[in-house]
Structure 1
Amino acid sequence: MLCQKCNCEIPVGEEVKHRGQTLCEDCYVELLEPPRSCDVAAVYSAKAARKAAGQEGTDGLTELQKDIYNYVKTEGPVTHDQIMKQFNLSRLQLDKNFAILRHCELLRGFRENGQVLVTIWTQGGPGEMNMG
């Protein structure tokens, strides 16, 4: 059986019915709880976990997250469309990775001239905002 959202194969018995669609578990969870980049509890948890693990900067991130961070650091501020194009990501993939980078206070979004831009995290910069 195939997921009607992502077209991935769903093992027998692991499909989830949601609003008339047959979904894999990942797509179902994403519908119920989409990534949120602006989440105070997640920021607190990420910072505490990274501190306890002795992690700083891009320590503990996936290679993709490190690459996104370095791209924004080098080329930024950039739009989410530029990031998606650079790394061939869907919006959902970007949202998931941006949320982690935001929770680690490495990247942030801000609005300038009606456009949402992503830049490296700095204290006291333009107002933070959600990527959405």
Structure 2
Amino acid sequence: MSDKTCARCGSAYDPAEAREYLGQMLCEDCYLDAMSPIVVCDPWAVHTAKSLKDLPGGQALSPMQQKLYNLVKERGEVPIPEAAAHLGLSEDDLRREFAPLRHMEMLRGCKKDDGIYLTLF
């Protein structure tokens, strides 16, 4: 390891595993996140999720997705930062867990006041 740090997360990285993205040197994890951004409002993903939900094994949630769904169901609406803190996730990780729930039309996001809230669909 060297003393080089990721431009996005600030953690040290091995120069052999670093990647350049938009002029910044990133660790491997941040590079993968940058190359596969979260797409919440994706009509094709919504169509696919709806088509697959009635098949055997369709609409199975991960344990974290189930916790997120239960949290929103219990509270009615939850600001994204509060949901992330409650579940022990970063906001980026929370958004990754939220995206499939949005595609399955179980949860949605809505702007309210100065933030984005998660609510039931």
TM-score, structure 2 as length reference: 0.77
Aligned to 2:51: 48
User: For the structure 1 residues 115 and 13, does the alpha-carbon distance in structure 2 shift closer, same or farther, using more than 3 Å as the test?
Assistant: closer
User: Which segments of 5 or more consecutive residues in structure 1 lack a partner in the other structure?
Assistant: 122-132
Q: RMSD across aligned C-alpha pairs, in angstroms?
A: 2.5
CA offsets, 1:11-35, max 9 Å, x none?
x9654333241421x4223213310
1:1-132 alignment to 2 at 5 Å? 1=1, 4=6, 5-6=8-9, 7=11, 15-18=18-21, 19-24=23-28, 26-56=29-59, 60-121=60-121
CA offsets, 1:18-73, max 9 Å, x none?
3241421x4223213310111111111222233333535xxx11101100000100
User: For the structure 1 residues 49 and 114, does the alpha-carbon distance in structure 2 shift closer, same or farther, using more than 3 Å as the test?
Assistant: same
User: Which segments of 5 or more consecutive residues in structure 2 lack a partner in the other structure?
Assistant: none
CA contact (8 A) 2:40 2:99 kept: yes
> For residues 12 and 43 of structure 2, what CA distance do their matches in structure 1 show?
33
Spell out structure 1 runs of 4+ moving beyond 6 A. Answer: none
What fraction of aligned residue pairs are identical, expressed as a percent? 30
